[in-house]
Structures are given as C-alpha cells and as structure tokens.
Amino acid sequence: MADNKIPLAERVRPQSLAHYIGQEHLVAPGKVLEQMIRNKSARSIIFWGPPGVGKTTLAQIIAQSLDMLFFTLSAIDSGVKEVRAVIEQARKAGHALLFIDEIHRFNKAQQDSLLGAVEKGIITLVGATTENPSFEVIGALLSRCQVYVLQPLTEEHLKALVWQAMQKDAWLASKKLNIEEWEALLQLSGGDARKLLNLTEIVADATEPGTALTNVVVQDIVQRKMALYDKAGEQHYDIISAFIKSIRGSDPNAAVYWLARMIEGGEDPKFIARRMVILASEDIGNANPNALLLATTCFQAVEMIGYPECRIILSQAATYLASSAKSNASYMAINHAQAIVTKTGDLPVPLHIRNAPTALMKKLDYGKNYQYAHDFAGNFVNQEFLPDAIAGTKLYEPGNNASEARLRDYLKHCWKDKYNY
C-alpha cells in the first residue's frame, strides 16, 4: 500500500463540494448545503444516514469552505470533559465547527454540555448519526439543529468514487486497476463508500498492475485479507444485519449467537432493542401482535437495567421473536399506500367523512351522510372511506397465518366481495 499508511478513503477525501459524489439533494447547485456554503452562513446540523455515505466528509467541507477551525470527537470515546475542552478552545479562537460522530451515543449530560456553546454561537455543531435523531438527541439540542437525511449511495455513485480515486491517488493510479466485474466489490462494501475504497486498496495491493479484477479474484483476496479489513470494527453493521435476518428467518439459535457477538463487542443495548422493535412490526406484525408489545417492553427494560443484566432481556426478546409466526403484510400495506400517495397526490377527503366543527362546514355538506358504525349491528356499516379516485383499492392483504386468518375472515364477513382475498 502507499508508503504513508494513510487509508485510501482518507487520502482521496474530497475537499470541496465540486468533488463530492452523492447526496445531490443537498449539495447540487441551489440546494441547501451549497447555498449555505455560498452564503457563508454556517448553522448547526445533524446528518442522519447509513454508514459510509459522506457525513464526515460534508462536515469537513463545510468547515474548510467557511474557513472555520475544525474539531472532531467520537461519541464512543469522548465525554463531557472532552466537549468542554473543545468549547474552551473554540471560545479562545472566537468560533469553531465541532463534528461529533455517532452523536446518538452521547448521553443527556454530554448533550447538555453542548447547549450553551451552540446557543451562544461559540461552536457550530455538526453531528452524524445512523439512528433516528428524534430517539436519542435531546429535544433542546435537536431544536437548535437542522436535520438532513443522507441517502444510500447508488451503484453509479460507488463506481464514480473508485474512478475518482484512481485519478486522484498516485499510488492507486500506478496500480492500473482493470475492474472487469464490479459485483463482488459492491456487495462486500454494502454501499459504504469508505469500505469500498479500503477494499479497492486491499485488492490493488494484492495484485500486479493491470490484473483483471473479476468477482472470483476480489473474493479470494478479501477472504485472505479480512483481518486487515475488519480492524476498524466495520463488522458492526454486518453483524446487526445477520442478527435481524436470523430472527426474520425464524432461527433462534443463530439469533442468540449474533446477539452474543454484539454483547461481547460492547454494542449499545438500546441499538439492539430498537432494531427488534422495528422487526416486530416489519416481519411479524399481525401474525403475532404480542411481538410488538414484548419488543417495546424489552426496549424499556433495557433502558432501565443496562448491561450486564439486560443481556438476559435481550435474549428473551430475540428468541421469542425468532420463534414467532411471521408476516410482512403491514409493511407491504404501508409501502403500497405510500406508492399510491406518491402517484396520485393529495386526493380530496370524501365529504361524508370530513370533520364539520363550524356551521359553514355543515352548510358545505361536510360530514353529510356519514354513518356512525356503532349505530349498526355488529358495529359495522358498509360505506367508502377512500377518496373517490381510488375507491375500492386493496392495500392490506392479511398474511397466511392463524392470527391474520381470523382478521381475513372478519373483513370478508363485513365487506363481502370488497375484502375477498
């Protein structure tokens, strides 16, 4: 590899938006971050998105473009003491940008220590998180930051990053990479630009200049070099993926194994519990409604108990969810509904189910002919609730399991042919 031992991903990190690849909805001319830099108007931001999509790079570009002193902290190994030290340095300098990676791992006291400096403009905060910030970032801090969602990189983005690296980095250029097949590189990197560039460096270092890089060649090299590749802990996202897929696949043995791997690796227990809450709806849903209740209770218990005892609670939830009947019917229903909303736009609410709190609204027939279900036998009356343009559309199709079979029977009993699945 290159003599200076700096990883390729760091050597070719873009210094301006002109060389930044991806996130066009934020960085393209006229978009919010491009305007912020052009207008020299720094403000506090939280970048929310998957790993390796450019959060750190954007923070550095903002600081460099606005000629700001730049500090970076990792929430994993920094506390209130480190935050206060940076704030003091920023106060002496007049102003600085502080980038906090994995800000969702900061506890309330650590986040509280940032508030005063952010409010007074001593620091411009840029936080990065792979978690929904509304779950873990305190309201007072969140209200002072603009949240921007970073999207996964496309295959075209990832290829462009490699081609750009070949042009910018002298060592990599000298290797004259001949990439004949991309699938292995892209799959092994999992959409993470940093992983992809580091994989590219490992493969380039293990081959002679001009070697044809096929999927077989890449996979062979990566298997032999995996210890080098994983030294920075990048397996984090692979292991949570294996955990979730094991539960989805109804394998409690595999689920508890991957859970143990995360526990031994010091994973945040709330991160694990939160993923199980999502899975309980996405992959189990109405096949076993108790799954969501148990997963939610697990998350609450984990918050109260913490390590090491919460490992038992996590194990109970994981094995229960893995052993439960599965259905993604609710997940598919909301996907279908959102697709229709995107396609059809803001269809008008039918008059009979509109609210009519004023005399004018009643005069305009808001609520007219609405039939109150509880006034009818079985607490049901056949009336249309969807907009006229999509009346009769089926969005929810109960899954093939005992629990949802009962729901299907009830819907058929009520609606006859309308819900005849």
Question: Same structural domain for residues 31 and 90?
Answer: yes
Q: What is the pLDDT at residue 352?
A: 87
- What is the spatial distance between Cα 221 and Cα 229, in angstroms, rounded to a whole number? 11
* One-letter amino acid for residue 231 of the chain: K
Cα 130 to chain center, whole Å? 5
Kindly state the average pLDDT of the residues 184-204: 90
Kindly state the average pLDDT of the residues 348-353: 88
Report residue 383: phi and psi, to 5°. Answer: -145, 160
Quick: pLDDT tens for 132-144: 888 888 889 999 9
Quick: pLDDT tens for 398-407: 999 999 999 9
Q: Is residue 256 part of a domain?
A: yes
DSSP lists the bridge partners of residue 100 as 73, 127
The b/e string for 320-351 (b: 16+ C-beta within 10 A; e otherwise) is bbbebbbbbbbebbeeeeeebeeeeeeeeebe
Select the more confidently predicted residue: 265 or 101: 101
* pLDDT of 24 over the 70 cut: yes
Question: Same structural domain for residues 27 and 127?
Answer: yes
Q: What is the pLDDT at residue 230?
A: 43
pTM value > 0.75: no
* pLDDT of 156 over the 60 cut: yes
Q: Is residue 171 part of a domain?
A: yes
Q: What share of the chain is helix, strand, coil (3-state, %, to 5)?
A: 60, 5, 35
Reported as a pLDDT band with limits 50, 70 and 90, residue 235 is: low
Question: Same structural domain for residues 36 and 129?
Answer: yes
- What is the spatial distance between Cα 187 and Cα 191, in angstroms, rounded to a whole number? 7
Cβ atoms 353, 370 nearer than 8 A = yes
Cβ atoms 114, 83 nearer than 8 A = yes
Q: Is residue 3 part of a domain?
A: no
- What is the spatial distance between Cα 58 and Cα 64, in angstroms, rounded to a whole number? 10
Domain boundary at 92, 126, 149, which? Answer: 149
Q: How many domains does the chain have?
A: 4
Reported as a pLDDT band with limits 50, 70 and 90, residue 77 is: confident
Q: What is the pLDDT at residue 227?
A: 42
Kindly state the average pLDDT of the residues 61-65: 95
What is the domain-level CATH number for residue 168?
1.10.8.60
Question: Same structural domain for residues 104 and 123?
Answer: yes
The percent of residues in the chain predicted with pLDDT above 70, rounded, is 95
Closest-CA residue to 105 (of 271, 299, 319, 249) = 271
Q: What is the pLDDT at residue 4?
A: 52
Reported as a pLDDT band with limits 50, 70 and 90, residue 129 is: very high
Domain boundary at 149, 174, 189, which? Answer: 149
Quick: pLDDT tens for 174-187: 999 999 999 999 98
Q: Is residue 351 part of a domain?
A: yes
- What is the spatial distance between Cα 105 and Cα 370, in angstroms, rounded to a whole number? 49
Question: Same structural domain for residues 89 and 34?
Answer: yes
What is the domain-level CATH number for residue 252?
1.20.272.10
Reported as a pLDDT band with limits 50, 70 and 90, residue 2 is: low
Least confident piece of the model among 222-226, 333-337, 384-388: 222-226
Reported as a pLDDT band with limits 50, 70 and 90, residue 353 is: confident
Question: Same structural domain for residues 112 and 27?
Answer: yes
Question: Same structural domain for residues 314 and 363?
Answer: no
The percent of residues in the chain predicted with pLDDT above 90, rounded, is 59
Q: Is residue 261 part of a domain?
A: yes
Question: Same structural domain for residues 307 and 225?
Answer: no
Question: Same structural domain for residues 41 and 140?
Answer: yes
Reported as a pLDDT band with limits 50, 70 and 90, residue 267 is: confident
Question: Same structural domain for residues 37 and 132?
Answer: yes
Select the more confidently predicted residue: 190 or 29: 29
Q: What is the pLDDT at residue 265?
A: 78
Cβ atoms 62, 37 nearer than 8 A = yes
Kindly state the average pLDDT of the residues 76-93: 87
Question: Same structural domain for residues 133 and 194?
Answer: no
Q: Could you list the residue range(s) of the whole structural domain that residue 412 is in?
A: 347-419
Q: Is residue 391 part of a domain?
A: yes
Of the spans 67-76, 161-170, 381-390, which averages the highest pLDDT?
Answer: 161-170
Domain boundary at 114, 132, 149, which? Answer: 149
